Amino acid sequence: MNDEQVREYLDTLKQPPTSWQVEMIDEAIKDRIPIMERDGIDFLKQMLRLKRPDRILEIGSAIGYSALQMIDAVPSARVITIERDQARAKRAKYYFNRYNQDQTIELIEGDAFDVAEQVRYQGPYDVIFIDAAKGQYQRFFELYSSMLTDNGVIITDNVLFHGYVINAQTASKRIGNLAKKINTYNQWLVNQTEYDTEFFPIGDGIAISVKKP
């Protein structure tokens, strides 16, 4: 049995996406907006079901797909999500209103480094999900980890960056430089003594950092 056979078998066990998920996935593909891969989003949702957070902070809303998925996993939670791109923020708000989640999801427009005090006012957070500018992952972690509750969790997406963190030399100069930054973040992250961090080759790579008591 090879990895492809295992994947094909596991895919047969997945529930088909709902109509709203299909709509948002189609829009993301059409407009080339990056959203989490199916395996990654399923893993994230299962982690949230286990954690049962009251408050979640998401850094990087895009069109709101992940935020809606997180509420789908934990309907009792409240999500604060940050997006600096005006067009994407507008689409995210549209979807939050359309699917009656505008009271459970609050979108803060602006650069994550400019709106930190506004975000802090809404905290603290049981889970922080980092999925924004990949070259800034370490700065996001350093800035927002102070808003995490005791025993909180920081989840970082795209830590494998399509495999380029392993083979940066096979990419273009821009992509290769970004891959090196993500690799530097991964190395830094695993050495943070206040957190237990594990990396999972799911989706585009996910890091789970659990704050030590």
54 annotated to a ligand binding site:
no
131 annotated to a ligand binding site:
yes
47 annotated to a ligand binding site:
no
158 annotated to a ligand binding site:
yes
183 annotated to a ligand binding site:
no
83 annotated to a ligand binding site:
yes
167 annotated to a ligand binding site:
no
72 annotated to a ligand binding site:
no
DSSP code string of the chain: --HHHHHHHHHTTSPPPPHHHHHHHHHHHHHT-----HHHHHHHHHHHHHH--SEEEEE--TTSHHHHHHHHH-TT-EEEEEE--HHHHHHHHHHHHHTT-TTTEEEEES-TTTSHHHHHHH--EEEEEE-S-GGGHHHHHHHHGGGEEEEEEEEEE-SSGGGTTT-GGGS-HHHHHHHHHHHHHHHHHHT-TTEEEEEE-STT-EEEEEEP-
Q: Which residues line the annotated binding site for S-adenosyl-L-methionine?
A: 36, 66, 83, 111-112, 131
Q: Which residues line the annotated binding site?
A: 36, 66, 83, 111-112, 131, 157-158
Q: Which residues line the annotated binding site for Mg(2+)?
A: 131, 157-158
